[in-house]
Amino acid sequence: MKIIVLKFGGTSVGSIQRIKNVSKIIKSYSKKYRVIVLSSAMSGTTNKLINMSKKISENFPDNEYDVLVSAGEQISCSLLAGHLAANGLNSRSWMAWQIPIFTEGKHKYSRIKYINKTKVLKFLNSGGIPIIAGFQGVNKNLNITTIGRGGSDSSAIMVAKFFKADRCVIYTDVEGIYTTDPKKLNSAKKIKNISYEEMLEMASLGSKVMQPHSIQDARLNRIDIEVKSSFVDKKGTLITKQKNIINNKVITGISSTDNDAKVSLIGVKDRPGIAASIFKPLSQNSINVDMVVQNISSDDKETDLTFTIKSYDLTKTKKIINKNKNIKFKKMIIDKNVSKVSIIGVGMIATPGVTFRMFQSLARKNINIQVISTSEIKISVLIKRANVAKAIHCLHQEFNLDK
């Protein structure tokens, strides 16, 4: 029998009743496949654990963070395996260290490198249904690691890779990937097929339905992903190679972020290398600078520089800039009430005028664009957070995504 990987997100295992419901889904596959299950923590659990670490100390160490927050998956996996086993199925839970799932990189943001298949495969081949904890791994010293928020998606893709699974199904609380977050726009439409490239952009630009790393891993390993709902039995979305997709729309989807902050440095003494002097210490401190605009100085002496970062990096960023002896500026202005709205689609490569249509449509709604950034398949604009819903609504209409 072929192997299938099923991943259940936090909401899907969010209550006892839902865990019982998920057991039924698992059981239905077990007649046709050797099933490997990946589970997230019950919804809300990871957040609760993170809040506890913050209450203990603002400087809670990253290695202890990993031990703490990975505990959520231990609860959901044991409940799920326990329910299956109590109902006569051969099932047990597996924490990452028991397999092991090896990761590399820093605590909190590790990546899965290698999975030792031996023990799980033996169990699988004896008719067992392993319930594996998502989100966690161990490093080469066998210390517990985690792989970033939403990381169970990556766990599932990597398990599918190492076990050479025939399919990988991500069960979540919506029916698939939509043109935009269906919880924010009622007229969002379910997408049948989407390319890795477009899904990677959507995920990186704020559509949290899939963790960005998981899409990178799927693309590298050519693993098709089916995203569907654990609440209703309906066809979901297939994330796959571009050549498997026919799409007659210019834009495939719209994403938005809600954790950006804008930093403007006014009256920066201009000289060659000034931007590098500002950004080098930020990158050395793992602060990801996203959008950047530098105004051309009128007198060749002073310039204004604006960039965006994640709002959780703001305190650190302010400190680093104020400490930086290599730069001089008159004023630093911070704006936390901004969001990035992006339109994404491979269709824009061959279609002229997409940028104009986006800007015109926002202008008609009186939405001011603060910063712009583009790539081959996406256009992003930074706007006031209060305008995000309006912007998504008008862009969704402009590019006929309602139809």
Using CB under 6 A as the criterion, which residues of the chain lie in contact with ligand ADP when the complex forms? Answer: 9-12, 40, 150, 172-174, 177-178, 180-183, 207-209, 253
Residue 147: CB minimum distance to ligand ADP, A: 13
Task: Give me Rg for the CA atoms of the chain.
Answer: 23
- For residue 267, give the nearest of 238, 239, 293, 301 by alpha carbon: 301
Q: What would the two tokens of residue 341 be?
A: 């709205």
- For residue 13, give the nearest of 144, 171, 226 by alpha carbon: 171
How many angstroms separate the Cα of 396 from the Cα of each of 64, 214, 252, 392? 43, 26, 10, 6
Which of 39-47, 306-314, 321-329, 368-376 is the region at the interface with ligand ASP (rule: CB under 6 A)? 39-47
Cα separation, 274 vs 303, in Å, equals 10
Report what 64 binds from Mg ion, ligand ADP, ligand ASP, none; CB cut-off 5-8 Å by kind.
none
10 touches ligand ASP by CB under 6 A = yes
387 touches ligand ASP by CB under 6 A = no
69 in Cβ contact with 107 (< 8 Å)? no
Residue 132: HSE in the Cβ half-sphere, 13 Å Cα cutoff: 37
22 in Cβ contact with 230 (< 8 Å)? yes
Per-residue binding letters, 54-73, with ligand ASP (x by CB under 6 A): ------------------x-
Residue 172: CB minimum distance to Mg ion, A: 7
Cα separation, 380 vs 387, in Å, equals 14
Where does residue 47 rank: exposed (0-12), middle (13-18), buried (19+ CB within 10 A)?
Answer: middle
Pick between residue 155 and residue 308 the one whose CB is nearest to Mg ion.
Answer: 155
- For residue 3, give the nearest of 30, 26, 33 by alpha carbon: 33
Report what 130 binds from Mg ion, ligand ADP, ligand ASP, none; CB cut-off 5-8 Å by kind.
none
Backbone dihedral region for residue 53 (phi beyond 0: left; psi -120 to 50: alpha; all else: beta) = alpha
How many angstroms separate the Cα of 335 from the Cα of each of 307, 391, 400? 11, 19, 32
Pick between residue 124 and residue 381 the one whose CB is nearest to ligand ADP.
Answer: 381
Where does residue 149 rank: exposed (0-12), middle (13-18), buried (19+ CB within 10 A)?
Answer: middle
Phi, psi of 180 (to 5 degrees): -160, 170
* Position among 150, 176, 236, 253 found at the interface with ligand ASP (CB under 6 A): 150
Report what 173 binds from ligand ADP, Mg ion, ligand ASP, none; CB cut-off 5-8 Å by kind.
ligand ADP
Report what 180 binds from ligand ADP, ligand ASP, Mg ion, none; CB cut-off 5-8 Å by kind.
ligand ADP
Pick between residue 195 and residue 207 the one whose CB is nearest to Mg ion.
Answer: 207
Per-residue binding letters, 111-140, with ligand ASP (x by CB under 6 A): -----------------------xx-----
306-317 CB burial, b ≥16 within 10 A, e <16: bbbbebebbeeb
137 touches Mg ion by CB under 5 A = no
Residue 182: CB minimum distance to ligand ADP, A: 6
Pick between residue 211 and residue 264 the one whose CB is nearest to ligand ASP.
Answer: 211
150 touches Mg ion by CB under 5 A = yes
Pick between residue 45 and residue 306 the one whose CB is nearest to ligand ADP.
Answer: 45
Residue 211: CB minimum distance to ligand ADP, A: 8
Pick between residue 174 and residue 367 the one whose CB is nearest to Mg ion.
Answer: 174
Report what 151 binds from Mg ion, ligand ASP, ligand ADP, none; CB cut-off 5-8 Å by kind.
ligand ASP
List interacting residues with Mg ion (CB under 5 A).
9, 150
Binding site for ligand ASP (CB under 6 A): 9-10, 40-41, 46, 72, 134-135, 149-152
